[in-house]
Amino acid sequence: MKKDLISLLDVRDDIFDLLSLASELKNERQRNGRQLQGQTLAMIFEKSSTRTRVSFETGMFQLGGNTIYLSQHDSQLGRGETVADTARVLSRYVDGIVYRAFEHQNMLDLAKHSTVPVINALDNLEHPCQVMADLLTIMERKKVLEGLKLAYIGDGNNVCNSLALGAALVGMDFVAATPKEYSPSTPIMEKAVSIARTKGRTSECVIDPNVAARDADILYTDTWVSMGQEREAKRKEEVMRPYQINKAIMSLTKKDSLFMHCLPAHRGHEVTDEVIDGKHSVVFDQAENRLHAQKAILIKLMG
């Protein structure tokens, strides 16, 4: 039976095995492995990408497979073909599909009608591959995950949603500080709270960024204006200004805290130069770990 990665909940029972495999792949630098030799990965991208596209293409190459990149201009999706029909056709050509979508429902439809594994490379609800790389980065630096406090400050977007789930699944305390009108998904937060409770941990939303940052082991932010929200950029940036990560708010975290950002960063907006280039920052480790985490995911789903 095929397995998809649409939400981190899809790998809730495999998350530590995936992190262990990702660490192993990174440490051994298996750049010419043959785990996926002869397999082809279709990559459908409705949004632009640097890290996601390059890391998936590089990862498949290192595992012995190959990729086919399809933007909206390269496929019939951009000309009105249904997601379901696209899924049915591609399933007869390729061994797996990576999809970066605007709408989460389209992601669900693609997975429903595909007979090969589908991997969520970002939609408007979740970004699970990013958070797998984030957890790998934290594990490398902190040696443990359980019991840490992860504070997210900024827009309650897809990354925030997946972080809430990821933190709960590995036993971290999670707190998101966002403006009320830009809070994370209520159903996802309810799920995160439920999972966290079973592990004796907490998951919560607050308004005050200082409350979130206090004694945090990890401080995380993301761009204030996601792709597709450009029209509301000016107003949103005004609302988000008190949520900037700067030296003052970093001083509230633990002395050995980590600063994380999934990139691309808009310096001077959600984060200052002195933080993203400072001693706490691990943003480029995160970026590298997209490659290793996604190789583990590809092997797990397609191997």
Q: Tell me the sheet residues that pair with 66.
A: 40
Q: Which residue among the candidates 134, 155, 173, 222 is catalytic per the annotation?
A: 222
Residue of 53, 127, 280, 292 marked catalytic: 127
Catalytic entry in 51, 100, 201, 261: 100
Count other Cβ atoms within 10 Å, centred on residue 262. Answer: 26
Q: Which residues pair with 5 in a beta bridge?
A: 119
- The one catalytic residue among 113, 201, 280, 290: 290
Q: Which of 129, 160, 205, 262 is catalytic?
A: 262
Cα angle 259, 265, 269; round to 5:
90
What is d(CA 106, CA 79) in angstroms, rounded to the nearest whole number?
15
Q: Is 34 a catalytic residue?
A: no
- From CA 109, how far away is CA 227, in angstroms rounded? 21
The residue from 130, 244, 286, 294 that is catalytic is: 130
- What is the spatial distance between Cα 170 and Cα 181, in angstroms, rounded to a whole number? 28
127 is catalytic: yes
262 is catalytic: yes
Residue 300, Cβ density class (10 Å: 0-12 exposed, 13-18 middle, ≥19 buried)? middle
Task: Report the catalytic residues.
Answer: 100, 127, 130, 222, 262, 290
